[in-house]
Structure 1
Amino acid sequence: MAGTKLLLMLGGYVAMLLWGLHMVQTGVSRGFGGTLRHLLRTALDTRWKAFLCGTAVTALLQSSTATAFMLAGFLSAGYVDLPLALAAILGANVGTTLIVQVLTFDISAVIPVLLLGGLVAFKRAGLSRTRDMGRIAIGLGLMLLSLRLIAEALHPVEQAEPLRVLFSSLASDPVLTFLIGAALTWAAHSSVASVLFVMSLAATSVLPMSAALAFVLGANFGNTIPQLIATSGDPASRQLALGNVLVRSLGCVAALPFLPGIAVWLDGNLGAPAEEVAAFHMLFNVAVAILFLPLTPPLAALCKRLSPKVPAKKAGAPLYISLSTPPALSSIALADAARETLRMADTVELMLRNLKLAIGMNDRKLLAEIETLDDTVDALHNAIKLYLIEIGNEEGLADEDRRRCWEILDFVINLEHAGDILDKSLREIAAKKIKHRLSFSEEGQAEIDEMLDRVIADLRLALGVFMNGDERRARELVDEKVYLRDFERRLIESHLKRLQIGRAESLETSALHLDIARDLKRIASHFVSVAYPILEEKGALLRTRLIS
């Protein structure tokens, strides 16, 4: 039972360490992420500047993975070449060692100050950056507290013979220790947390120094795995992650045979086990950077050969139209644009269906899918719009084709507006409902479901009108706008009656309920707009609803 209790305590303290590190990273990212991103992008013009900037940004973010993702984005967008990005990655690897160096000093006395000051700043400050500073202070306090607790938990078992035998066996098998360190770092997604944990083990003499150094090498290698997995879909990002893997792998392979000698040398020059671990962590990354920084051009060429770029369709890329080679015949071009518009409409319909499920099931993942689908809608909107403008500017285009061209463009614009309402407004409303664990009344939920089903049906009717141009269907679609206007009025009246009798669910969700109804009516109006050009051409559309 004593061993089980120790494992549970260590697991809890390591979780506290990871959470503290997460708070520091998110605080810095939210408060200073834009500034750091701008600094990183503007400094990527020489290898040494890229290296130093990567070191500085990562020292503040405390995450080489976050820096790697920034660099991957710049690389994919063409803002930076691969050799310079690899130089910045080498700097990022050094940057992660700086917080480890700071935490080797005994600054446990500032733990209460960090926690108390951070809490006051986080709860009382009105400015978001001050709140982020409070978040950083709380994270640092939790990290220091967790390291102290880990050391205290290990101290009583320092003389336990079974534990010494276990860790001594690790010292005799550095490869196994290396693999354990890599696996744990991969699971934790943080080499900083892994190295700090090893420092705690080494400081209490539980882990022999040669095993601690092998664990540090494993942590350095394991930190590259999440980067490689996360960038598997983007060729440029994959090349950058592959370069980091090659650099760290070669460095680890070169260092492993010399760990016993390095441990003796560190012991003779430093003496304190925690300082020795931190020093080795930094020296290893500095040595790798010095070795590979002049070799970034050939390393980049090797990464490009091992992972060549393969053209792939991005999400939202058009399937039926091409700006580079538009069809010579306008009728074919317009038919292709209409097919692409149908894809766009199907995406909007999927957003509506996901919204209905997310509201009913309180599913955050579906809300994230809505955001992704809106990016697809925006991409298709831009592609179709540019394609149609190019067709519309052709000389000699028949009047009928020109009219059809602007009809398609108008519907595409309205679909994009509907997608924006779904993403920018309705998704936020649903997220607020889920975050605060609110529930609509049974009648209110039924009304929202009915209105959503009606709007989805209107979209399908609008697609029929868009493709066929049938006047009777167009009239039905305009009648749907009137129906939804009356439905919204009845919904509001029934909701107000529930408020009058004091229904708790209705009181809590009143603003959300009414906002959803309003936004759904706005979306339906965008769908109905496809009917107006048809009815106007037939002379079936009044210029005003006012009675003279």
Structure 2
Amino acid sequence: MSLSMLFGLFGGLGLFIYGMKQMSEGLQKAAGRKLKHLLGLLTNNRFAGLAVGTLVTAVVQSSSATTVMVVGFVNAGLMTLAQSIGVIMGANIGTTITAQLIAFKLSHYSLHAIAIGTGLYLFSKKDRSKQFGQIILGFGVIFLGLSIMKDTMEPLKDSEVFVHMMGNFGKSPLLGLLLGTGVTIVLQSSSASMGILMSLLSVGIIDYWSAVPILLGENIGTTITAILSSVGANLTAKRAAAAHFVFNFLGASVIILLFYLIPNFANVIHNIVHSISSMFIVDVTAERLLANTHTFFNVINTLVWIPFVGFMVNLVKRIIPGEETSIKRGLTFLDERMLETPSFAIDQLKSEVLRMYKITNDMVDEAIMAFKDTNDDLVKAVRNKEEIINELEEDLVTFLTRFPRNTMAEADVKTVDMYYAMIDDIESIADDAFDVVELAVFKKDNKISFSDEAWETLNDNFAFINNLMEDGHQLIDKKDLSLIDKIIKGEEKMDRLLLEHRSGHMKRLGYGICDPNAGIVYLEVLDELEHISDQLADISHSITEARTNKIL
């Protein structure tokens, strides 16, 4: 292979990958938020997860994007390990759409798509039009890249050495499996390796029997993306990535084993897929046959394993032992049926609010520890919990709006309003904890240091806020009304301390004791702590008002 051919191959591959990236980004911008929300909601059982995983991957044209989202959800505690396996299985089916798309041979429309897509993307004023322009542009670049790869590799079909080398993969399926796995790991895209494989097949350099083992290897190689995204994630997220690998590895390994155990097994697969394809398509090309094989294999593999999700969960727990640390997503104590008995729902509402407060309290503790000694695990924990709190707030507010207020007693309505206000205050505290963590990261990245006196005042305030947070928990849980006065006075004290510390900081700056670059971080941390005390005082006022209205 000459240098110009190598540049042609990798140039075409580069265009293909760039086109996939543009089309995937455009699709995610157009529908990603809705799909991500769908991914987080419709996974209560393995079959719902399977359907959602298939749909999301088919739309965003990237199983990698789906599995990365899944690992992120699991890491944030928004999805259980069992739910994630169903979605991952669906992603394996959805990703076969890429091969089906390539098999349409639309290269002669690539420049048309690029021209239309570029026009929409560059000159349209509406975001929606720009997004569709990006999708069409990506679509065109994909097929332009495929066309270049195909034209570049066309002369190779006359090279006996190269054709013989590729033919060896048909004689040794294990070699084909390893090649497909290796190429996909390097490219970190099964779509890209599929594009190369389809190009080789289309010009006759490789035949169907040699392509199938490579295709199976691509299924294994694509799991590298989820594995890499789980690095630094929690235990359950690592298990989700491992489940993706185990599922694809077992499926591919069984087929490769059958290649060696059953004579002419490749012919058996070819005849079955060709017969099924002929029922829908008159002219079954080699590319279409391989694309259908990809879909057929992934669907069968999923149908075989979907009843054994429990076994898969136990298997990956054995592979990666340890205690799970994920937090259950969404509402724990409430569901729609409780609205038929509002008074009972209100009792359970308290449990949900307490759970939300407990997660937020943990965030404050972890944020403070992260600021004292920036720890990447603590930073990730706070960021993940912030996502959980945001979702929990959304779920709770949605639930509260569905209370049948017209038929409820006035005291019950006011109780619901009290918890409504608390939920907003707790979410604000979570935002403050998140901001403290971001300041901790900024402090570490910019190597900011504080004087001993500054650290002493910070530590005093950290301890004070921790105690105040514990008082807030007791107030909500036990309705210990004696704590109301303590919390309100604590908030007033924080106001005074903030003024004193600002003054003290300015004096230290004047004496040259403190680093001027530390000033902004120091004061912003104090502002966040003072704001936490404000939210706790607001919770106390809400409970005071409830006591005044005699609903507690």
Distance 2:163 2:140 in 1: 31
Cα distance, 1:529–1:175 mapped onto 2, change above 3 Å:
closer
Cα distance, 1:240–1:265 mapped onto 2, change above 3 Å:
closer
Residue matched to 2:393: none
Residue from 257, 262, 273 that aligns with 2:266: 262
Residue matched to 2:302: 289
Residue matched to 1:67: 66
How do 1:113-192 and structure 2 match up within 5 A? 113-192=112-191
- Cα offset for 1:389? 4.0
- Cα offset for 1:62? 1.3
Distance 1:141 1:248 in 2: 30
Cα distance, 1:311–1:121 mapped onto 2, change above 3 Å:
same
Greater alpha carbon shift after TM alignment, 138-147 vs 154-163? 154-163
- Cα offset for 1:356? 8.9
- Cα offset for 1:292? 0.7
Larger Rg: 1
Contact kept? 2:251, 2:301, Cα under 8 Å: yes
Q: Normalising by the residue count of structure 2, what TM-score does the alignment of the two structures yield? A: 0.62
How do 1:485-496 and structure 2 match up within 5 A? none
Count of aligned pairs between the two proteins: 402
Contact kept? 1:337, 1:388, Cα under 8 Å: no
Higher relative contact order by CA 8 Å / sep ≥ 6: 1 or 2?
2
Contact kept? 1:24, 1:140, Cα under 8 Å: yes
Residue matched to 2:314: 301
Cα distance, 1:84–1:149 mapped onto 2, change above 3 Å:
same
- Cα offset for 1:343? 5.5
Distance 1:144 1:287 in 2: 29
How do 1:377-526 and structure 2 match up within 5 A? 386-387=469-470, 389=472, 407=493, 477-478=505-506, 526=524
Distance 1:215 1:336 in 2: 47
Cα distance, 1:80–1:340 mapped onto 2, change above 3 Å:
closer
Cα distance, 1:136–1:341 mapped onto 2, change above 3 Å:
closer
How do 1:234-253 and structure 2 match up within 5 A? 234-253=234-253
Cα distance, 1:323–1:138 mapped onto 2, change above 3 Å:
closer
Distance 1:282 1:356 in 2: 52
Distance 1:79 1:521 in 2: 37
Cα distance, 1:3–1:264 mapped onto 2, change above 3 Å:
farther
Instruction: Write the deviation string for residues 18-73 of structure 1: whole angstroms up to 9, x where unpaired.
Output: 11111111111222111101222232133323212211110011111221232333
Distance 2:253 2:487 in 1: 67
Distance 2:31 2:463 in 1: 33
Listed as ranges, the gaps of 5+ residues in structure 1 are 315-321, 327-334, 358-378, 415-461, 467-473, 489-516, 533-548
- Cα offset for 1:92? 0.9
The answer to whether structure 1 residue 351 and structure 2 residue 434 are counterparts is no
Residue matched to 1:506: none
Q: Normalising by the residue count of structure 1, what TM-score does the alignment of the two structures yield? A: 0.63
The residue identity in structure 2 corresponding to 1:155 is E
* 3-state SS of 1:158 partner: helix
Distance 1:253 1:180 in 2: 14
- Cα offset for 1:262? 2.6
Contact kept? 1:478, 1:528, Cα under 8 Å: no
How do 1:337-376 and structure 2 match up within 5 A? 348=439, 351-352=442-443, 354=445
Residue from 271, 280, 288 that aligns with 1:275: 288
Residue matched to 1:373: none
Cα distance, 1:4–1:173 mapped onto 2, change above 3 Å:
farther
Residue matched to 1:56: 55
* 3-state SS of 1:106 partner: coil
Residue matched to 1:224: 223
Residue matched to 1:96: 95
Contact kept? 1:75, 1:237, Cα under 8 Å: yes
Residue matched to 2:192: 193
The residue identity in structure 2 corresponding to 1:251 is G
Distance 1:104 1:338 in 2: 55
Residue matched to 1:38: 37
- Of all paired residues, the percent bearing the same amino acid is 21
Distance 1:213 1:384 in 2: 63
Distance 1:337 1:152 in 2: 57
Distance 2:503 2:321 in 1: 55
Contact kept? 2:85, 2:243, Cα under 8 Å: yes
- Cα offset for 1:291? 0.3
Distance 1:15 1:338 in 2: 45
Contact kept? 2:71, 2:226, Cα under 8 Å: no
Distance 1:380 1:139 in 2: 54
Distance 2:73 2:135 in 1: 26
Instruction: Write the deviation string for residues 199-229 of structure 1: whole angstroms up to 9, x where unpaired.
Output: 1101111113222111101100011122123
Distance 1:384 1:99 in 2: 56
Contact kept? 1:323, 1:387, Cα under 8 Å: no
Cα distance, 1:276–1:302 mapped onto 2, change above 3 Å:
same
Instruction: Write the deviation string for residues 483-519 of structure 1: whole angstroms up to 9, x where unpaired.
Output: 99xxx9xxxxxxxxxxxxxxxxxxxxxxxxxxxx9xx
Distance 1:12 1:294 in 2: 44
Distance 2:85 2:10 in 1: 35
Instruction: Write the deviation string for residues 428-465 of structure 1: whole angstroms up to 9, x where unpaired.
Output: xxxxxxxxxxxxxxxxxxxxxxxxxxxxxxxxxx9xx8
The residue identity in structure 2 corresponding to 1:228 is I
- Cα offset for 1:388? 6.2
Contact kept? 2:53, 2:87, Cα under 8 Å: yes
Greater alpha carbon shift after TM alignment, 385-394 vs 23-32? 385-394
The residue identity in structure 2 corresponding to 1:62 is Q
Contact kept? 2:370, 2:440, Cα under 8 Å: no
The residue identity in structure 1 corresponding to 2:442 is M
The residue identity in structure 2 corresponding to 1:305 is R
Distance 1:235 1:384 in 2: 31
* 3-state SS of 2:2 partner: helix
- Cα offset for 1:169? 2.5
* 3-state SS of 1:152 partner: helix
Residue matched to 1:495: none
Distance 1:389 1:74 in 2: 29
CA RMSD of aligned residues (A): 4.4
* 3-state SS of 1:252 partner: helix
Instruction: Write the deviation string for residues 361-383 of structure 1: whole angstroms up to 9, x where unpaired.
Output: xxxxxxxxxxxxxxxxxx99997
Distance 1:300 1:336 in 2: 30
Distance 1:249 1:51 in 2: 18
Listed as ranges, the gaps of 5+ residues in structure 2 are 278-283, 328-356, 375-435, 449-461, 531-552
Cα distance, 1:245–1:168 mapped onto 2, change above 3 Å:
same
